[in-house]
Structure 1
Amino acid sequence: MQAQPSSYVQAARAFRHFFGELREAYLERETLFTQLELALLGREHVLVVGPPGTAKSAIASAVLGRIVDERTGLPSLFSKQLAESTVQTDLIGPVDFKVLTETGRTEYLTDEGMLGAEHAFLDEVFDGRDMLLRSILNVLYERELKHGRRVTAGRTECVVMTSNRYLSEVLARSPELLLAFADRLSFICFVPKSFARRESRAAMLQRYSHGARPDLRAQLSLQQVDLLQDAVTKVVVPSHVMEGVELLADSLERALAVQVSKLPDYVPTKYFSQRSVVKALWALKAAVVRDQIYRRPDRPLEATVEDLDALRWFFLLGGPPAGETEALLKAVVDPRERAQLEIVRLEQRAFDESLAKVRQDLGGGVEREAQAFASSEEVGAAESLGRNWQPALVSSTARSLLTKLVPGPRHAQNRAPLVAAARALVAAQEQRLARGMAGHGEGRGGIALLSSFGDVLALCQGVPELRPGHAHLCEATARFLEGAQEMIALSAESVDFEDGLKLESLVGLADNLEEELSQTVELAGLLAEGAPTALERLRASERAVRSRVVAALRRRAVFAFQGSLARGRREPLEALSVDSRRLSQLEASLAALDPTQQGLKQELLLPLGIAYAREALSSTPFERIEQYGRAVQSVAENLRREGVPVEAVFTECREVIESRLREHARRLSREVSSPPPAAMSVLNGDAYVFYRGEFAANAPDGELAALLGLDGQLSPSRGIAAPGFLSEAVRAAVAHAELSFVQTRVKYLRSWLTQLLTALPPPESLTERSEAERTVDRLVRSRFPMLALKEGELVRLRGVLALLGSMPGDLGEGARRLEQQLRGIDEDFGRFSRQVLERRAAP
């Protein structure tokens, strides 16, 4: 062993003397001092619990308060007693009000808190609120404060926390909080109320009988502690000892879990997590340095299996040694004290049993690891793959070897067979790559083949012994990929010569080729280190191949689709829907190959959409243009749902739509008889019945408005600059038909009203109120007031004529003349009815 520097030897001597003096002053606290030593050496934290009057706070102050800085002679210590009122700023430091007022940001003066000191003492820690303790635990574990985007690093190395509460009390109050402490703190110690040995109490009474306090004069500096901490970082933990740490943690966790099932109130002190196993490794390193300081100054800084025994102070609740625990249990009265001592005894026994088992298991570690790695089987599998390349088996073998070789076996003798298997697998890949694309009839190979190559490349790159051949393997893989990409293109171009190929088959082929091309790109990415020049070449080739594949598949899709149209005889909408789904899948697959390749679906579906629209628009029966407009809307919605361009379809169907509308206008223009009402019919309501029966049932009211609405619906099909979708001739035909009906109705209404007013006495002749009432009664029985007022027939006709009046030429002029006639009817009726009603209301 290399001789230690004199400064290190002096630091070790000062460390021994410092804690030796403490052990003489505070009796039966050996476990606590051992854990404090390990915590200082490993830069970890300690929690000390136990009833009041057991010198917990005095010991924490005596340790941390006397480790001084050589430059100042003062300790780097932050002390705080926690209470319900303690807030976060009491521990991490006050808010910097200057920064807050100048910038609005909240920052803390952490140098004034516990992060600003190497050591901290938090007394009565469980008196603080749970949320405060959880936040402080995170600060202590990470040694930094995160607030917003700012992260402030701290100087904290070791924090000692004390509490007068038993762990059972903490567990009853907040089990999650106790688990948080157990996971983040390396050492927890229970200090019992009484002494196990009578002489210890006698010595304490003798010491204090004259009022004497412990005379502590030994000096220990921060710089000396730093030297010893640096030694901890240099401790080597051999692989078999590291295995022992893992086995001990697993075995102890299982053993304590068994105790939980037996004792429902028991909760293990240590929370076994990945974090705790890592901390155990550093506790072991600190134990090695402590052993060198106290027992074997000449021992090397390398952990042995014997050092695993020191992990009892990390994994277990620290307490009196076994003999002292038994003595205390015989005299203890407090049930809480007894429960805590029972836990100490239980965990110590479980640790001893687990450690004995681990030591026994480590004796056959080499053979057990070799058996677990199955090295001979890996070699046999790799050699067989050289004779018969099986992609799936290659991938699983390569991944298995990589997992076993990185970071590698704990025992060096178990690495050589695994490396041999890895070399054999790389050699097998080189042979397969040399065969190229036509080896043993394997053809293009597909996804599995390319994936297997990638797995072997990752193995070659990850295992140091294989690195020298990595560049050669990358070059060979690059040459293979160039051939694979060409084969992919040829595979797509060969579909032109395959008879009976359906669209569904093209979709599957496109998906497979895209996956293979993507796999070549992914595999090419692994060549960046070993064959960087080939990487760009492969990427350019991949882009060109994608264009070739899409062009070939698109060309074949057009041919296959047209063939299916010639063979199929289906209902147009059903055909459109079915083919839309098929083409959507194909277009999505082609777009995955080349995102610029769009429009195939619209290109092929447009003829089907036109055929469907022609059939629907030419055969849908209707009596009103409004009904035809709903049919047009339904066709448009179906086309949009299937992804067909509506505007292009309607443009092609314009003549069909106009033909149906012209035919409708001709039907509307048929002669409607309008004989003048008979004398009696104008008074008894028969004229009203005739008007509603003949005109209302046959009149095309609102047809021009419906036509204009349909035109607006279809106008986008002709573009923004176009005046409208429908021709002026169609508009004029519908307008003429509607105008002729309105003219017939106005003529009838004028005749009816004229005869009615002639048959009734003039208002000025109604001198008696009774005569006026009889006249009103006859007027009501004619039902003309109901038609004009209640049903609003005159108003509705004026609205129709107003729209017709906006038409150009003679048509609009005729509508405006009719509107004047209608207004005359309204005025004559209104004047007569007002005068009669006034006569009836006169006194």
Structure 2
Amino acid sequence: MSGAGYDGGVIHPPANAQPQAAQAFRHFFQELREVYLERETLFTQIELALLCREHVLVVGPPGTAKSAIASAVLGRILDEKTGQPSLFAKQIAESTVQTDLIGPVDFKVLTETGRTEFLTEDGMLGATHAFLDEVFDGRDMLLRSVLNVLHERELKHGRRVTSGRIECAIMTSNRYLSEVLARSPELLLAFADRLSFISFVPKSFARSASRAAMLQRSAHGLRPDLRAQLSLQQLDVLQAAVERVVVSSVLLEAIELLTDELERALTAQVSKLPDYVPTKYFSQRSVVKALWALKAAVVRDQLYRHPERPLEATVEDLDALRWFFLLGGPPAEESEALLKVAVDPRERAQLEIVRIEQEAFDAALAKVRAELGSGPEREAATLGAAEELKKVEALTRGFQPGLVTTSAQQLRVKLVPGPRHADNRELLLGAARGLLASVEQRLARGPIEGTESRLGLPMFTALVEVTRLSGLVPELGSLRPTLIDATSRFLVQSLELMALNAESLSFDEAVSADGLLGAAHGLAEELAQVEELLALMAESHVALASHLRREEAGARQRAVTALRQRVASVFPGTRSRRDPLDALSADSRRLAQIEQALCRLDPSQRGLKQQLLQPLGFDYARSVLGTVPFERIDQLSRTVLSVAENLRREGLTPEPVFVECREVLETRVRDYVRNVSRELASVPPAPQAAISGEAYHFYRGDFSQQARDGEFSALLGLEGQLAFARAPSATFFLSEAVREAVARVDLAFVQTRLKFLRSWLTQLLTALPAPQTAQNRASADHIFDRLVRSRFPMLTLKEGELVRLKGVLGVLMAVPGEPGESARKLEGVLRGINEDFTNFSKQLLERRASL
């Protein structure tokens, strides 16, 4: 940059750059005003938009030179380097798509990586200025995306964000705002929130001289002759001036007051005119934009009216915010003239909006100007400095950590960034200084005072807030070192007391699990506040904070060790609950809570629950496996499954528990075998019972209750349930002696059954005539009916009792040694019973069929 100076990395424009840029700017727009008559408001809004890098929407009926003005402005702001405008122009239509505006898809990236990226240099982000004609002809979704891009000046696609150069866009439309509102109220709201300037260009001229001048030019074939020069670089100089404009706290308050008052005034108009919709959407975004519009107005005023004025906003500059907050249009006197001749109801409605909003703005501005003089008193009432002083005075009469916390928080909110008026700030600073002094006095007396309990969590919370306050308020910086020193001495004593309190639990026999849980939670909360306090202290006293962190780590470790030891002595305790599972579940939940609390203090404490719950799991398993009654071994198997699942659900590994309970299980099985073996009895059926069916009912009733065969198969099922606890080299979990005892009693059961069945069949065959003796069909049917009435065929054929017993013996035959040999012998007896019955029944059926 020729003639530019360089100082500390900042490039300064030449001394004559600002006057040259100002003159070029004035000539550029004065020439435009001479060509395009009665467009003063529109040019004012465009000037402000260019200066503060914002956007303009221009609406009005066709034939009002909207597009011509946009092109004449943006198309003639040239880049000194290229001699060309940096302009993206596009006529919007319903068929317009996003790539038409932001740039085409980069097909090279798409084909090579599969990612969708855009060549934004070819779209509106790649230019300094943009002209979008007939903007409301596009689809709503497209327009919303365009608005977001224009507002944020960047494009988000995937994880990539592309920044753009776009500064100012002028959008035009031949539609009235009422038409846009009827079509899409949300779309108009989006425009009102993101655009700083909206202007309405009426159909007619208010002054007859303007129409005469237009006709005169047309009659002589005169075309606009625009020769004034304005460059992007000159505009940059003026935009830099806008950034340097100073806006006092009083003016910032005025912007807020004006925004609130104008919003109330325009909302009141809505209740009077149902069809009226305010042009501006009042949001936090609009307040910030209003600030920059005010800064631009100061520079514009310097350019046109007061070249010697400093770049500092005044109350008089607030009037220029009408072009930001309101729908731009003809001045009041011209609006009245146009309303008299306007025929189109849309035109009249738009002019009426201009008039209503101008009147509301004038009233709101007058009210704000009147209120600005009472700003200090009004702010003082809002801040409540006197109440803050009363709170601090109360601390001198009786120290309350909770009051310190709330006072520090409220003072921080009120002092950062702080009041607009110095007197009000000084009052708050007096309260803050008094607060720090009260805290220091209490810290000097240590954590314990007289018979009071140790100052714990509430005091640490208060110290966090006071330390944060002293670090954020510059005026308190000189008091911070004294506060930090007093806090460090207090912390050393408090940390020692924390450790001692935890260690004292070892001497408190009355402490319960709930008490330990509460102690762990309380300690964790206190130390969390201490950590936050040390982080704040480290911002200005690094070495001291490091020393205190070592103190904190030592106290933490002592406390955790003491708590863990006391927890181990409390668990296991005496059980008052009747149900063992309820007891185990309660202990599991409580240990999980205590472990979680201790892990907040020290993550290495993970596993405490498993360690202390294991013995409790042993007690639970012994209690259940040793006491739950069962009548068959498969019932014991279900109990084993239930115990294992309950242990897993409580977070315990069942393998070591069942290994520990092996003897309990074996004892239960031995006792069971011993008891059921006493019940064995074989009473042969009487001859009449054998033939009448009573033998069947006895066999299926009381006899089956005594002869519980199949227990060895049930024992194998139990072994399957216990496979998880079996040693890697072992085939079975239970001892061989137990298996042999069950096998023997099972053999005894089967033997008893076979003895009864043999006796029953023998008496049945003795009582029935031989099939060969039947001389006719009637006698054969009589033998057949007596055989069926005995129920022996139903037992063996339909119910498959002999097949079932064969299966039981098949399992027992696999047992090595004498039990297996005995099973094979019984299998021979079973086979004999089956053959005798089969032969008899076969002969009877054949004889019956032959007669």
The answer for the alignment partner of 1:110 in structure 2 is 120
Aligned pairs (5 A) from 1:801-812: 801-812=809-820
Offset of 1:357 from its aligned partner? Answer: 1.0
Report the CA distance between 1:279 and its aligned residue: 0.7
Q: Tell me: CA distance 1:211–1:772, structure 2 relative to 1, closer, same or farther (3 Å).
A: farther
Do residues 242 (structure 1) and 252 (structure 2) align?
Answer: yes
- Aligned-residue identity in percent: 66
SS at 2:597's partner residue?
A: helix
After superposition, what is the alpha-carbon deviation per residue over 1:760-803, rounded to whole angstroms, capped at 9, x for unaligned? 78789999888876665554344333212210111211121122
Deviations 1:44-84 (A, max 9, x none): 11001111121111111111112222233222211111111
Tell me how far apart the structure 1 counterparts of residues 511 and 153 of structure 2 sit (CA, whole Å). Answer: 68
In structure 1, C-alpha distance between the alignment counterparts of 2:275 and 2:331, rounded to whole Å: 23
The corresponding residue for 1:791 is 799
* Inter-CA distance 673–102: structure 2 relative to 1 (3 Å threshold): closer
For residues 578 and 18 of structure 1, do their structure 2 counterparts lie closer, same or farther at Cα, with a shift above 3 Å needed?
Answer: closer
SS of alignment partner, residue 239 of structure 2: helix
Aligned to 1:286: 296
2:441 to 431, 435, 441: 431
Range moving further from structure 2, 273-282 or 11-20: 11-20
Match of 1:137 in 2: 147
Aligned to 1:661: 669
Pairing 1:482–2:492 present: yes
SS at match of 1:54: coil
Superposition deviation, residue 117 in structure 1:
1.4
Q: Does 1:333 align with 2:343?
A: yes
Deviates more, 1:722-731 or 1:228-237: 722-731
Cα distance in 2, alignment partners of residues 611 and 689 from structure 1: 45
Matched residue, 1:399: 409
Kindly provide the amino acid, as one letter, of the partner of residue 309 in structure 1: D
SS at match of 1:133: helix
Aligned amino acid, residue 173 of structure 2: S
Q: Give the Å deviation of 1:386.
A: 6.0
User: Hey, what's the Cα distance between the residues in 1 that align with 2:657 and 2:436?
Assistant: 61
Output aligned runs, 1:150-549, within 5 Å. Answer: 150-375=160-385, 377-379=387-389, 381-382=391-392, 385=395, 388-439=398-449, 444-471=454-481, 473-498=483-508, 500-549=510-559
Give yes or no for the alignment of 1:565 onto 2:549: no
> Structure 2: how far apart are the matches of 1:817 and 1:836?
29
Take 1:447 and 1:671, find their aligned partners in 2: how far apart are those partners? 71
Could you say if the C-alpha distance between residues 660 and 311 of structure 1 is closer, same or farther in structure 2, counting changes exceeding 3 Å? Answer: same
Going from structure 1 to structure 2, the CA distance change for 1:621 and 1:373 (only over 3 Å counts) comes to closer
Q: Closer, same or farther in 2 for the Cα pair 1:234/1:652, shift >3 Å?
A: same
Per the TM alignment, residue 25 of structure 1 is displaced from its structure 2 partner at its CA by: 1.5
Provide closer, same or farther for how the CA distance between residues 569 and 686 of structure 1 changes in structure 2, counting only shifts above 3 A: closer
1:426-445 per-residue CA deviation (whole Å, 9 max, x = no partner) reads 34444333333345665531
Q: 1:664 to 1:443 in 2, by over 3 A?
A: closer
> Per the alignment, do residues 695 and 265 of structure 1 end up closer, same or farther by CA in structure 2, a change over 3 Å counting?
same
Q: Report the AA paired with residue 788 of structure 1.
A: T
Aligned 8 A contact 2:255 2:290 in 1? yes
1:709 matched to 2:717? The reply is yes
Match of 1:698 among 692, 701, 706: 706
Partner of residue 678, structure 2: 670
Is 1:728 the counterpart of 2:736? The answer is yes
Post-superposition offset of 1:338? 1.6
CA drift of 1:518 comes to 1.8
After superposition, the Cα gap between the structure-2 partners of 1:182 and 1:685, relative to the gap in structure 1 and judged at 3 Å, is same
CA distance in 1, matches of 2:542, 2:670: 73
- Do structure 1's residue 627 and structure 2's residue 635 form an aligned pair? yes
Q: State which drifts further: 293-302 or 716-725.
A: 716-725
Task: Name the SS for the 2:603 alignment partner.
Answer: coil
1:299 aligned counterpart, secondary structure: coil
Most deviating of 467-476 and 636-645: 636-645
C-alpha spacing 1:827/1:537, structure 2 compared with 1 (3 Å):
farther
Residue of 813, 817, 840 corresponding to 2:821: 813
Distance (whole Å) between structure 2 residues aligned to residue 438 and residue 674 of structure 1: 86
CA contact (8 A) 1:804 1:811 kept: yes
Q: Tell me the residue number matched to 2:97.
A: 87
Hey, what's the Cα distance between the residues in 1 that align with 2:811 and 2:45?
100
| C-alpha displacement of 1:614 | 5.0
Contact 1:683 1:756 in 2 (8 A): yes
Secondary structure of 2:334's aligned partner = helix
CA gap 1:245/1:793 in 2 versus in 1, 3 angstroms: same
CA spacing shift, 1:574–1:782, aligned 2, 3 Å: closer
Mark the CA change 1:106 to 1:581 in structure 2 (over 3 Å): closer, same or farther.
closer
More deviation in 409-418 or 613-622?
Answer: 613-622
C-alpha distance in structure 2 between counterparts of 1:473 and 1:4, whole Å: 51
* Secondary structure at 1:565 match in 2: coil
Q: Which runs of 5+ in 1 are unaligned?
A: none
> CA separation in 1, counterparts of 2:198 and 2:40?
14
User: Does the 8 A contact of 1:386 with 1:427 survive in 2?
Assistant: no
How far 1:541 moved relative to its partner? 3.0
Contact 2:707 2:752 in 1 (8 A): no
* Contact kept in structure 2, 1:472 and 1:530, CA below 8 Å: no
Q: Deviations over 1:613-653 (max 9, x none)?
A: 55554544432223334445555556666667755555555
Distance 1:635 1:94 in 2: 68
Specify whether residues 672 and 67 from structure 1 end up closer, same or farther in structure 2 by C-alpha distance, changes over 3 A only.
closer
The answer on 1:739 being equivalent to 2:762 is no
**Would the alpha carbon gap of residues 383 and 744 (structure 1) be closer, same or farther in structure 2, given more than 3 Å must change?**
closer
Offset from partner CA, 1:13-50 (integer Å, 9 cap, x none):
22111111211221111111110111111111100111
Q: How does 1:747-758 map to 2 (within 5 A)?
A: 747-753=755-761
Give, in whole Å, the separation in 2 of the partners of 1:93 and 1:577. 65
CA RMSD in angstroms, aligned pairs only: 3.2
Distance 2:523 2:561 in 1: 13
The 5 A counterparts of 1:573-722 are 582-597=590-605, 614=622, 616-634=624-642, 650-651=658-659, 653-670=661-678, 672-674=680-682, 676=684, 683-714=691-722, 716-717=724-725, 719-722=727-730
8 Å contact from structure 2 (residues 680, 707) kept in 1: no
* TM norm structure 1: 0.91
Q: Larger deviation: 180-189 or 516-525? A: 516-525
Alignment of 1:9-24 (within 5 A): 9-24=19-34
Match of 1:49 in 2: 59
Larger CA deviation: 588-597 vs 136-145: 588-597
Distance in 2, matches of 1:579 and 1:110, equals 65
Cα separation, partners in 2 of 1:269 and 1:716, compared to 1, 3 Å = same
CA distance in structure 2 between the aligned counterparts of 1:71 and 1:220, rounded to whole angstroms: 13
CA contact (8 A) 1:444 1:488 kept: no
Q: In terms of mean alpha carbon deviation, does 102-111 or 744-753 score higher? A: 744-753
Residue in 1 that maps onto 2:5 = none
In the alignment, structure 2 segments of 5+ residues that lack a partner are 1-11
CA positional deviation for 1:10: 2.0
Note the C-alpha offset of 1:366.
Answer: 3.0
State which drifts further: 169-178 or 751-760: 751-760
> Which range moved further: 647-656 or 799-808?
647-656
